[in-house]
Each structure stands twice: as C-alpha cells, then as structure tokens.
Structure 1
Amino acid sequence: MSSLTFESDDLEVTEDFLCRAYAKMRIGSGTPESSRARIHRDSTPAVSVDELDLNFDMSYSVTPLGRICLCVVHEGTIQDHGFHGVRDDFGPGDVVMFAPPDLPYAGRICSARYNITMLDPGLLDQVAATAGRPLHEPVRLTRHRPSSPAAADHLKKTIVHLRDHVLADPAVAAQPLIVSAGSQLLAASVLAAFPNTASTDPTGQDRADAHSTTLRRAIAYIDDHADRPVTVADIAAAAHVTIRTLQYAFRRHLDTTPLAYLRRARLAHAHRDLLNAPPRGEATVAGIAARWGFAHPGRFAAQYRSVYGTSPSRTLNS
C-alpha cells in the first residue's frame, strides 16, 4: 500500500504529475491566474483511490489508462467529457466511468472537487459469474453511467468504505485479506452498478456440474486457505469448475455465495482466536478482526454478535 499528496499552482508541474499518476495527457487552463491543484492518493497494486481538488478550469486530453477509471463528483462540474461517440456533463453526486480502459478521452474540469477510483480490469473477471472466458475477452462495461440511482449510490458507498476504512489506515491496508476483500467488493459493486457483458444465468452444464462433490471441494479449499487472499476464481479452479458453476452450487446447496461462505469461515477463525487469546494479554478485537479480513470493527462486532450471540470483546475477556 502506498500514499502520496501533491500540491502545486504551476500548471506544467501539475501536468507532469498527472501524466505520471494516470496516463500521458495534455492539460490547459482557462483561468491562468488561478491554477491551484491538490491531489491525495492511497493505492494498492490493483486499486487506487484519489481525491482531487482543482480550483481552476482545466481542459484535458488523456491517452488510454489501461484501467477502469471511475469518477465521483463532489463539487463543481466536469463538462464536454467525451470518448468514442459519448459526450456528457457531470455534476455533484454523479458517479461515472470515464472511458473503457483501451480508449482515450477528453473534457473540461470546472473548478471541481472529485474522486477518481481506478482498478485493474482483471478484478472484474475474478468476480464475474461467467463460464471460462478467454483472457483476450475480458468483461466489459457497456455504459458509462450506472443502471439506476440505487446502483450508483451503492457504488459510491463502496468507494467511501474502501477509501476511509481500508486504504486510509496503513495498519489496516497492510492486512492482505482486507485488501483482497475490499478489491473484490469494489469489482462486484462495479459489475452491479454498470451494464456489462458478464452473463449470470447458469447453463445446463453448470446445473449438471453444481453437485455436492463440487461443493465439498470448494469448501475444503476455503477452509484450508481462509488465511490467504482468495478469489472466486481460485475457489472455482480448486473445485475444477467454472465460476458460474461454483456460484450456482453454493446457491443451490447452501443458499449463499462462495465469498459469503469465505467470510463466515474467517469469522469462525476470528472466534477461535478470541477464545484462545491469553487473558489480559496484548490481543485486541480490532487486531484479530483485521487479521481475518474485517476492516470495520463495528461491522465485525455486529456480524459476530449475529452468529455467536455475544460481543467479540466479551469473548476475548472471558
């Protein structure tokens, strides 16, 4: 995990930074007397979350990023944004995909404060419930705006959670299980928010392969690897089935999802650590929760209580 903050009122310096932080671009200011820029970034190899504050009007022309780039506007506007036949304006509250990873885009920032979240496109393939898709045909988002206001709101909440409860705290961001879970949650929220090419309906072959042996293989793999960053693709490969078959098997036999089962397994490990911690020792609820991939102590406590009928602090201190 890395973190950086950039501030400058020199347009050439800002352009150089943006080229290094995003992709090669040209920028220009319509208000040369004021060109103050402030950018803060927290990132992992797969995901970055940036907060940008530009108190001037800036035009931009950007080469393809190679990553999925999401924008949430806090204040101000982004105007005349365009790529490959799309032209749109964005204002406060809007969440959009700037452009597909392989396309350039251009537009104009008008004294805006906004969030840029970028993720590796491969994360979508890891969580999409598709049959074995060739690597040269990744999942694609087919529209730049979310399919509904509710989907947009959920995606914004996911970005805020990732920013504030995962990446903002170096101790939490150092936990690989939390980073892996947060990245997958973001990818799943993107797929839920935007129309895309992933197919979720099980085929006849999926139904035939989603038998109890498949489920047993998957559960065994989850139980043996709960202490490591695990993706749905990893579980499917261990069970020798496609991701879609795996999803269907868990839904058919347990009425849950593979990732929900993984979270339950990690909760059980956290429960055992709380029980086995020495009385009045150095172990803490937050530390044990983070070790097993739970970034938010309050949510961990709520999940723990719903399963075990008591608080994690009482278990630790009993």
Structure 2
Amino acid sequence: MTSTETTDVTEMSDVTGMSDARTAAAAAADFDTDHVVAVGPDAEPTFEKVQFATDDLEEARRSLESVLDGRQFRARLAGEPFVSRFASAGDSRLSLQTGTFTAHLQGVIPWSRDYVMSWFRSGSVTVDYPVGQLTSQGSRPFLTPSETSFAFSMTPHRHGIVHVDAAFLEAVATERHAGPPQRIVFDYAAVPTDEALDAWRTTLGEVTPLIVGEETPALARHAAQQALVRGMLDLFPWRAVDVPDTLRTERTRRLRQAAEYVHAYADRAITSADIATAAGMHTRTLQLLMSEHLGSSPTNYVRHVRLDRARQDLLSSEPGSVLVSDVARRWGFGNLGRFSASYSARFGEYPRDTLAR
C-alpha cells in the first residue's frame, strides 16, 4: 500500500516532536523578519513538498534511493511489521525531511556540496567516508560529510533531516567570518552541549511551521531558513576554508582534502608528505596536482596559508598590544626580514602597516 499526498505542518511535526504545531500563517505573523540578509538577486525558489508511505519493503527501498539520489540501497526486515514513511517540504535553499523505516537499510550517498544535518528519534546510523567513520549518538544532531561520497548503515529508525544548499549556508556564514562565501568545514566529531541543543531545538520548533507551510510568505520563509542555518552554525564548531571553486568538484576531492588539511594544521609543523598522506595520495602526485590547480608547490601553499593567518591576527589586534615579531613566530616565520618581504609581496603592504590600522 502506497500513498503520495500533500505535506502539511502537522505531518512534518515529527521533525521537532511538536504535538501542536502552529499553522504557517500564525507563525509568520509574529516571526522576526528584521534580520533577513540578502544573499543574491535570484528569483524566489519554488516551494516543493513530497510525501510517500508504504508497507512494501522493496518499494520503500526504491523510493528512498530515488528521492535521496542514492546508490546500492539494500534493505532487510527486522523483527517487527514493516512500514516506511517519508516527507519533505521546503525549497532549493533549505528543506526539512522526516522519515520512518522499520527495517535495516544500507547504501551509498554520492558526492554533494550541500550540507545535511540529521537526528534520530529512534534507531541509529553509522557513516563511513574516505577519512573516517561517524555513528549517531542517541537523539543528538550530527552532520554527514559534504563534498564526498559516503556509505551508511541504519537500524530501524525514525529521524529528521535539515538539507541546506551549499551556497545558501555559505552566504549566511559570512555574517560570522566577515569574508567572501567560502566552504564551511564542520567538526563532524563534535558533540553539541546540552545548552546548545536546547537553543537549537527552540529555533527548530519556531521555524518549522514557516519552512514547511505552503502559504508562508516568501520573506518569512527566507527569515526562518536563515535562522535555522544560524542555529546550525551555533551548534557545531566550524571554520571557513578558502579553497578555489575548481577544487570543489568530485574529481578534485582529494586535492581539496589536502588544502583543508593545510588550513586545519597550519599552526603545526607539517610536511608535504603529511599533506599527501592526509589526502590519500603520493607526495609526487600532490606536487603535480597543486602545481596544476593552484599554481603552487605544497611548501608555498603552506606558507601562503600561514601568511593569511598572520594577517588575520594583525588585523584583529590593537596597535601596541602585540609585536609583529611575535605574530611572525607564531606562524612559523623565524626571520622577521624575510617574513616582512613575503608579507608585502602577498598583500601589498608591510605587516607593521596592517597592525597600525
């Protein structure tokens, strides 16, 4: 038995566990839209909703594989009557999803730039990706890796998902790091604090009716989506990583991982071999790829990242509070004269001038 119907706020209340979700119109009436940040001149995206339910295992497997753009989904029954339900509502910027699947499910999610956060109301999932493994912890939210494919294995479960378009999240994140939109790398292993979780759940409860309500005014939906993204940025540690857009493809995934490793460990003594190992390639391959795509050797790339960090420190410091020499040494530059020359060549001014601003 299968049904495909309209998704409404009540049906989507499983996302938050709300028992009496307000209508979108009522929520929009008192939702603060004063902090909407324009993210571009694009036309307002189209609201979309999907829902299906079935008690046929094979049909459920095929449906989920299709709607999640997955591969090699495999399902096997558990010791309980089988039922599958899935609902999604939102637009291309951000959608909320909720699902129930009372069987075991395995599969592969292909490479994607989007950011996805999940939480389980029952059951669990283990995610295997090229550089590690993640396992859900009770009902605590967690992020699945972006810009890489991963395999997953789920027990019978009920769960909620926030799916965010990469460009949208990265535009909102510029409020925090004050730079151009950049890739955001979350700490996937981080466990949110109870205080942060309470704040997140409050925000989720407030914005869900607006995000999933078909009659929500465009401005109110946009404000709700931005509020939820800000909540995600508050929930997990993250850093903005300035990597060229040409590295943010499936084909260049390993080189992007090498660049991210440099950004993560620029304050440590790292070598070309360390970077290559972290990205799963030979040192010579890393050298060739960096030269081709970044116009730089691994050593020079590390130096440039450290110069960027030194500049950030100088810009954020009050004149007289630090010495240029201290900042230089902090980022591995032992010779102040060579540091000043390299800094001037990269930024068009001397470090002392940056500090004096």
TM-score of the pair, normalised by structure 1: 0.55
Paired residues for 1:211-290 under 5 Å: none
CA distance in 2, matches of 1:140, 1:159: 22
Which letter does structure 1 place at the counterpart of 2:197?
A
Paired residues for 1:37-186 under 5 Å: 37-78=84-125, 80-99=126-145, 101-128=146-173, 129-133=176-180, 137-163=182-208, 165-172=209-216, 175-186=217-228
Which letter does structure 1 place at the counterpart of 2:91?
T
Q: Residues 90, 147 of structure 1: CA spacing in aligned structure 2 closer, same or farther, 3 A cutoff?
A: closer
Q: Deviations over 1:24-68 (max 9, x none)?
A: 322212327854211011111211111100111112221123311
Structure 1: state its 5+ residue gaps: 209-318
Which letter does structure 1 place at the counterpart of 2:129?
F
Q: Deviations over 1:170-195 (max 9, x none)?
A: 222xx111111111111111111111
Which letter does structure 2 place at the counterpart of 1:193?
L
Q: Secondary structure at the match of 2:226?
A: helix
Q: Secondary structure at the match of 2:203?
A: helix
Residue 206 (structure 1) shift: 8.1
The structure that has the greater radius of gyration is: 2
Percent pairwise identity = 14
CA distance in 1, matches of 2:73, 2:64: 9
RMSD over aligned Cα atoms: 2.9
Tell me the residue number matched to 1:192.
Answer: 234
CA distance in 2, matches of 1:47, 1:25: 23
Which letter does structure 2 place at the counterpart of 1:67?
D
CA distance in 2, matches of 1:145, 1:15: 31
Q: Is the 8 A contact 1:139 1:197 kept in 2?
A: yes
Tell me the residue number matched to 2:77.
Answer: 31
Q: Is the 8 A contact 1:72 1:93 kept in 2?
A: yes
TM-score of the pair, normalised by structure 2: 0.50
Which letter does structure 1 place at the counterpart of 2:232?
V
Runs of 4+ in 1 over 6 A off after TM superposition: 201-204
Q: Secondary structure at the match of 2:97?
A: strand
Aligned residues: 200
Q: Is the 8 A contact 2:211 2:224 kept in 1?
A: no
Which letter does structure 2 place at the counterpart of 1:132?
G
Q: 1:18 aligns with which of 53, 64, 69?
A: 64
Residue 132 (structure 1) shift: 3.4
Residue 204 (structure 1) shift: 6.6
Q: Is the 8 A contact 2:118 2:160 kept in 1?
A: yes
CA distance in 2, matches of 1:91, 1:146: 9
CA distance in 2, matches of 1:207, 1:179: 39
Structure 2: state its 5+ residue gaps: 1-46, 242-310, 319-357
CA distance in 2, matches of 1:181, 1:202: 30
Tell me the residue number matched to 2:342.
Answer: none
Which letter does structure 2 place at the counterpart of 1:197?
R
